[in-house]
């Protein structure tokens, strides 16, 4: 297991088939992010759990997994923490922003504290980003688009992070301030992301959302996404 330490940040590990970072800033909870490719064998999962326990973690949370990828983790004692819908867009027939659409701009590094403030209002504790997880989201794919919309009083009204890897795109994060929901911000962010992906010859865009997040589902489907028959799940277990 490789280990990397930067300043006072918690330790980052790599098992080859996965990388491990603290979950949402909690140094006692490991976030196990699988690499692309085949899922690990049960023995590799057991070995990872032993090593993570030795370095002080008390709980492990996986990234969103397909049913097939989750099998060795279920065998190792993991349980389902969250179920997610997985949606796909083929990037054909895209809607274009109308003249009355909210104005978006490129996000700058100086925007990040306000983006995190908004994120804390838009998501519950389990899904909320911190400084490290925001940075990880911005570096999760080779190409990224980070857009924000300015609200009143210098606040950020909405933001989105979209990633691109080869011909596949990912809507990684879409968040709107609770006070300005249903004002067009979410739709503007989704359309902006899809147009950007299409412009770069991406063939497929994916997004996931929580099982009971009916508002997000309605937004994505109204923008042309369709639900895939097989969803995703996030697993966890104590150490």
Per-residue pLDDT band for 12 (boundaries 50, 70, 90) equals low
pTM of this prediction? 0.89
Q: Is residue 208 part of a domain?
A: no
Q: Is residue 164 part of a domain?
A: yes
CA-CA-CA-CA dihedral for 136, 176, 169, 132, to nearest 10:
0
pLDDT at 84: 97
Same domain, 103 and 189: yes
Its domain, for residue 40, covers 2-84+234-238
Residue 6 has pLDDT above 80, yes or no: no
Same domain, 101 and 195: yes
β 204-210/168-176 pair status: parallel
Same domain, 76 and 99: no
Q: What is the pLDDT of residues 70-90, one digit of tens each?
A: 999 999 999 999 999 999 999
Per-residue pLDDT band for 101 (boundaries 50, 70, 90) equals confident
Q: Is residue 27 part of a domain?
A: yes
Q: Is residue 129 part of a domain?
A: yes
Q: Is residue 211 part of a domain?
A: no
Same domain, 98 and 194: yes
Q: Is residue 221 part of a domain?
A: no
Same domain, 197 and 105: yes
Same domain, 16 and 98: no
Q: Into how many domains does the chain fold? A: 2
Residue 165 has pLDDT above 80, yes or no: yes
Same domain, 118 and 16: no
Same domain, 110 and 57: no
Q: Is residue 141 part of a domain?
A: yes
Same domain, 103 and 166: yes
Q: Cα(132)–Cα(114) distance, rounded to whole angstroms?
A: 15
CATH code: domain of residue 100 = 3.40.630.30
Same domain, 185 and 104: yes
Per-residue pLDDT band for 10 (boundaries 50, 70, 90) equals very low
Per-residue pLDDT band for 132 (boundaries 50, 70, 90) equals confident
Same domain, 96 and 65: no
Q: Is residue 207 part of a domain?
A: no
Same domain, 27 and 64: yes
pLDDT at 5: 38
Burial of 239 (0-12, 13-18, 19+ CB in 10 A): middle
């Amino acid at each position: 297991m490789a280990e990397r330490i930067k300043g006072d940040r918690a330790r980052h590990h790599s098992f080859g088939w996965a990388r491990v970072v603290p979950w949402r800033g909690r140094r006692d909870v490991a976030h196990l992010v699988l690499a692309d490719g085949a899922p690990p064998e049960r023995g590799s999962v057991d070995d990872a759990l032993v090593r993570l326990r030795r370095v002080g973690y008390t709980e492990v949370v996986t990234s969103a997994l397909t049913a097939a990828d989750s099998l060795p983790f279920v065998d190792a004692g993991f349980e389902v923490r969250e179920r997610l819908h997985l949606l796909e867009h083929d990037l054909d027939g895209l809607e274009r922003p109308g003249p009355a659409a909210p104005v978006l701009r490129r996000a700058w590094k100086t925007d990040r504290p306000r983006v995190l403030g908004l994120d804390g209002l838009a998501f519950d504790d389990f899904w909320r980003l911190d400084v490290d997880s925001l940075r990880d989201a911005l570096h999760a794919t080779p190409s990224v688009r980070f857009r924000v919309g300015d609200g009143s009083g210098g606040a950020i009204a909405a933001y989105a992070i979209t990633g691109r890897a080869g011909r596949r795109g990912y809507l990684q994060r879409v968040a709107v301030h609770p006070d300005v929901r249903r004002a067009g911000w979410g739709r503007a962010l989704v359309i902006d992301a899809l147009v950007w992906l299409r412009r770069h010859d991406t063939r497929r865009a994916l997004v996931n959302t929580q099982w009971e997040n009916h508002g997000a589902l309605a937004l994505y489907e109204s923008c042309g996404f369709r639900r895939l028959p097989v969803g995703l799940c996030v697993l966890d277990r104590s150490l």
